[in-house]
Structure 1
Amino acid sequence: MPADFRLETFLPYLLNRAAEKASLDFARAYRDRYGMLRTEWRVLVHLGRFGDMTASQIGARAGIHKTKISRAVAALEQRRFLRRLNVEDDRRRAMLSLTPAGRDAHDDLTRAAAAHDAAMTEGFTAAELDTLRDCLRRIAGL
Structure 2
Amino acid sequence: MIALERFLPYRLNVLAASVSNALAQIYADRFGLTIPGWRVVATLGQYGVRTGRDVAAHAVMHKSTVSRAVAGLVERGLVRREPNPEDLREDFLALTEAGRAVYEALAPEALAFERKLLAPLTDGERETLFALIARLDRQADVMGAAALREAAE
The yes-or-no answer on 1:109 pairing with 2:106 is yes
Which position in structure 2 is the counterpart of 1:135?
132
Q: What's the % identity of the aligned pairs?
A: 37
Q: Which residue, out of 29, 36, 39, partners 1:39? A: 36
Q: What amino acid is aligned across from residue 89 of structure 2 in structure 1?
A: R
Higher strand content, 1 or 2: 1
Name the SS of the counterpart of 1:90 in structure 2: coil
CA distance in 2, matches of 1:68, 1:37: 11
User: Which runs of 4 or more aligned residues in structure 1 lie more than 3 Å from their structure 2 counterparts after TM superposition?
Assistant: none
CA distance in 2, matches of 1:16, 1:88: 40
CA distance in 2, matches of 1:125, 1:88: 49
Q: Which residue, out of 117, 123, 127, partners 1:126? A: 123
Q: What amino acid is aligned across from residue 114 of structure 2 in structure 1?
A: D
Output aligned runs, 1:58-73, within 5 Å: 58-73=55-70
In the superposition, the TM-score normalised over structure 1's length comes to: 0.92
Q: What amino acid is aligned across from residue 14 of structure 1 in structure 2?
A: R
RMSD (Å) for aligned C-alpha atoms: 1.3
Shift of 1:89: 2.8
Shift of 1:140: 2.1
- How many residues are paired up? 139
The yes-or-no answer on 1:10 pairing with 2:7 is yes
Task: Name structure 2 gaps, 5 residues minimum.
Answer: 142-153
Task: Name structure 1 gaps, 5 residues minimum.
Answer: none
CA distance in 1, matches of 2:3, 2:85: 56
Name the SS of the counterpart of 1:49 in structure 2: helix
Output aligned runs, 1:23-38, within 5 Å: 23-38=20-35
Shift of 1:91: 2.0
Higher helix content, 1 or 2: 2
CA distance in 2, matches of 1:13, 1:40: 25
